[in-house]
C-alpha cells in the first residue's frame, strides 16, 4: 500500500531532507519514526528536497508499506516518534501510481525578509534580516528576470 504524508518542519536543526551518513536529516528521522511505528524499514520519497537549515510546510512524501492504519493513526502514531521540530500534518492512502515527486503539479518557495532597524528574536531562523532600507523597485526589477519558464537542467 502507498501512503502519502504531508510534512512540516523547522529545518534549523537538520542537514536538509535527504539521508546523510550523519543521520541528521528529516528523511532519516521520518524513516526511523516509521520503523518504530510499523516495524518496517521503508524509503520515504519526497516531492522536493530541502537544503540544510531550510524549513518546509506542506512537503509531500510517500511510502510503501504493508502496515494498515487509518489516516488519523498514521498522523498521531508517527508524530509520537518525531521530534517537536517535525510533524506529519496529514496522511492518506493513495494509488500505487501516485509518486510524491513525479505527481507534483507545482511547488512554491518563499523567502522572507524582515526589514526593520532592530532584529526580531521571534523571527530568528525563520526570516532574513536587513536593517538598512531596501530598494523595492530595484528588487522588483531583479525579480522580473525570474518570471516565466526556465531550464534549470544544468543545476541538477
Residue 50: predicted pLDDT? 83
Q: Is the pLDDT confidence value at 136 over 90?
A: yes
Positions marked catalytic: 51
The β-bridge relationship of strands 113-114 and 128-129 is parallel
Look at the block and give the residue holding cell 501516485.
Answer: 98
Q: Is the pLDDT confidence value at 122 over 90?
A: yes
Q: Is the pLDDT confidence value at 6 over 80?
A: yes
65: alpha, beta or left, given left = phi > 0 and alpha = psi -120 to 50? beta
Would the pTM count as exceeding 0.75? yes
**% of the chain exceeding 90 in pLDDT:** 74
pLDDT tens profile 140-149: 999 999 898 8
Q: How do the domains of the chain map onto residue ranges?
A: 2-94, 113-148
Q: Assign domain 2-94 one CATH number from 3.30.413.10, 3.30.70.580, 3.40.50.20, 3.30.70.260.
A: 3.30.70.580
- What whole-number distance in Å separates Cα of residue 45 and Cα of residue 51? 15
Instruction: Spell out where the chain has E strands.
Output: 2-9, 45-46, 56-64, 86-94, 113-114, 128-129
Residue pair 27/19 in contact (Cβ under 8 Å)? The answer is yes
pLDDT tens profile 59-80: 999 999 999 999 999 999 999 9
Nearest to 5 by CA among 105, 101, 93, 109: 93
Residue 153: predicted pLDDT? 78
Residue 35: predicted pLDDT? 98
Q: Residues 113-124: what's their mean pLDDT? A: 94
Residue pair 62/91 in contact (Cβ under 8 Å)? The answer is no
Amino acid at each position: 500500500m502507498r501512503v502519502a504524508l504531508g510534512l512540516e518542519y523547522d529545518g534549523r536543526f537538520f542537514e536538509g531532507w535527504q539521508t546523510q551518513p550523519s543521520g541528521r536529516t528529516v528523511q532519516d528521522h521520518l524513516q526511523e519514526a516509521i520503523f518504530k511505528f510499523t516495524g518496517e524499514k521503508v524509503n520515504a520519497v519526497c516531492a522536493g528536497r530541502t537544503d540544510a537549515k531550510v524549513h518546509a510546510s506542506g512537503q509531500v512524501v510517500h511510502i510503501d508499506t504493508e502496515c494498515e492504519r487509518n489516516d488519523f493513526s498514521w498522523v498521531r502514531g508517527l508524530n509520537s516518534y518525531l521530534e517537536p521540530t517535525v510533524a506529519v500534518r496529514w496522511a492518506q492512502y493513495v494509488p500505487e501510481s501516485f509518486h510524491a515527486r513525479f505527481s507534483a503539479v507545482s511547488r512554491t518557495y518563499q523567502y522572507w525578509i524582515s526589514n526593520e532597524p532592530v532584529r526580531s528574536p521571534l523571527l530568528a531562523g525563520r526570516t532574513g534580516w536587513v536593517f538598512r532600507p531596501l530598494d523595492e523597485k530595484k528588487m522588483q526589477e531583479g525579480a522580473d528576470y525570474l518570471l516565466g519558464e526556465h531550464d534549470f537542467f544544468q543545476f541538477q
